[in-house]
Structure 1
Amino acid sequence: MSDEVKRGLEGVVVSESRLSYIDGDAGELGYRGYAIEDFAHEASYEEVLSLLWNGEWPTRSERDEFAARLADERELDPAVYDLIAELASTDANPMATMRTVTSALSAYDADTDASPDDREANLAKGCRITAKLPTALAAFARLRNGDDPVEPRADLDHAANFLYMLNDTEPDEVAAETFDTALVLHADHGLNASTFSALVTTSTMSDLHSGVTSAIGTLAGGLHGGANQNVMRMLKEIDESGKEPREWIEDAVAGGERIPGFGHRVYNVRDPRAGILETYSQRLGETAGDPRWYDYSVAIEDYMTEEKGLAPNVDFYSASMYYQMGIPMDLYTPIFALSRVGGWIAHMLEQYEDNRLIRPRARYVGERNREFVPLDER
């Protein structure tokens, strides 16, 4: 066994998976062997969940059945609404709220006592978690603003229903399609930090709710899930500065500022998801008759690519996209969780199939052979 220390486990292969394929040098991402470019504009989030959880694309009837099953699980227990209202009244952090609510949901789940390796029970729990988190987040966002929660609608798909519950208005076709595609593209991305934390929890034969709670706590960190908020703050600073985007970015770089939305731990080229989301950011701007956020983004990307050799990641264009849909900035990372929960669950299902406790080692570098001193002599 090698004693070489790999800080952050960089480059260490700890498991095998059939879920998502990433080639960081070529800029490729695929789910279950299908390139995202081939289905991102066509497949719904419900279809992608079915693919990730079951291994194959669903037929039309299977898709409809799966979507209906998710829709049937959107309602929250009254006690969970009470918890959300209490958290909203204290102006709790949205990610902390998501973490707390996920943990609380386990108390009201019909399969909470099922064996961790019971696949059917896990699929049922996975549907409930995935379906209820959007309801919880939308309710929290409205309650903290003094508005009543909006009941979910079974006739809307997963993406459109969330926007409806958030705004109390049915989204137009462009917004609904855009948000659905964003969910699809964020659904899974290999063994990222939050997925790994979910697997560590699952490997102890803990339950799905515990695994998702662990993953949300990991995603909440600024080095993982918060970059798109920082991108939008940057775009707003540019807008308020009165400077041209290139002038602003040159000044920021000269001042030593780190430009959010660029670079990736895996991709050495442009994140393939960024190119797809760019088209939707452009469409939203054109539809609204206000393309400035998209235009600012393009100008920044041109500078960073030409002058710094850095390419945008998935967060870069998702920021302007969410903003143009009227989504508050502090909900961007929770929305990441609404999507990635599908991938977390897929990985946990896979872990249960061939489980081994994840237990790496650390090299001890402290002192040894120190002499103990009794309390009265210290």
Structure 2
Amino acid sequence: MQQHTHSYYAASVNNHRQFPALEGELECDVCIVGAGFSGLSTALHLVEKGFRVIVLEAAKVGFGATGRNGGQIVNSYSRDVDVIESRYDNKTAQSLCSMIMEGGDIIRERIETYKIDCDYQQGGLFTALNNKQFEGLKEQKANWERYGNQDLTLIGKDELRDYVGTDAYCGALLDNRGGHIHPLNLALGEAEAIVSLGGQIFEQSAVTRIEKGASPVVYTAQGLVKSRYLVLAGNAYLGGLAPNISNKAIPCGTQVVATRPLSEELAAELIPHNHCVEDCNYLLDYYRLTGDNRLLFGGGVVYGAREPDSVERLIRPKMEKVFPQLQGVEIDYAWTGNFLLTYSRMPQFGSFDDNIYYLQGYSGHGVTCTHLAGRLLAEALAGHAERFDAFASLKHYAFPGGRHFQIPFTAMGAAWYNLRDKLAI
């Protein structure tokens, strides 16, 4: 039986129900594989529309990236407006960019509508380590304002200490439509909402095989579900269920630590307004305060999702470089989690065999984009597929290097961009 990894989130989770394992045979309109944010968002949007929905989870609700990430509500996708507008035709670009703020709005709607207790805090900072990155933030501000976000403030070095207690940065962009949450508690709150509206969730119910056809059937060790539509939302944890989509992305690991609870004075010194923070590097660092005043700090990428020997050994130097005042602070929790990286860094939404849909490949921007994905897929199944099709029309390619070399080739590319960040070129 798979349990949550030993993380701060699992240790501070709200009281919640245990969902049963699937036994026997069931039928529904939509069967969803995976109870992370992609699956939960899809299920909740669908049950709100009156669909009969069953969610199958191999382990626990929020077991994967959903319950292990930095908890930051970051708008847009892993590729932002500038890249999208240069890469795609005008109609596609306009459609994609019109949705860049929607995922965060959906999260806030869910928290309000279903009264989800998940430590929501408003505001996120993007921090620049050099003038080149600061100029990039100016461009980002202008682009996001063109698409409706008027809650942005550019912060110069002279006033930056009022927002983050370090001399590591030369400027920042504050997005008040960003923020941070306890992601596992958000996921469990959404699961409760699904069940309250008539949906069903089964944990410890790994799908062993899929039988395609006019009514797809998914099999678990002790049961099966027959449905009109099947949604694959396992992302980096989907395994070998659908090789035709899993070969277009690679799993990557990211590492996170949480310190002991800090004093009110020290917490206020580090992040005075309790915003979340991420820097502008290609291999970025991200951090925030938790509800009990721990510093939660993450960063780095392990391509191929290997477990590092020591998460703390990887993250502590980064944290202490940003905040020397935390030298030697106790680390209470250290964990890793996998996300799915695409070659284009754009999410992969689509379908095959007419009735099997997939949502995956958020490339590090999954908290917000998963919530958008669920809404778009629910729209599509309700007969309004225009917005879903804007994503489904994007072409996706396998990473160069084939099965044996795609991970080292990708790591080499990341090292090059990391060097560019250090040289500010």
Q: Give the TM interval when normalised to the shorter protein.
A: under 0.3
TM-score w.r.t. the length of structure 1 is: 0.23
Look at both structures and tell me which one has the larger radius of gyration over its CA atoms: 1
Q: Could you say which structure has the higher helix fraction? A: 1
Q: Could you say which structure has the higher strand fraction? A: 2
TM-score w.r.t. the length of structure 2 is: 0.21
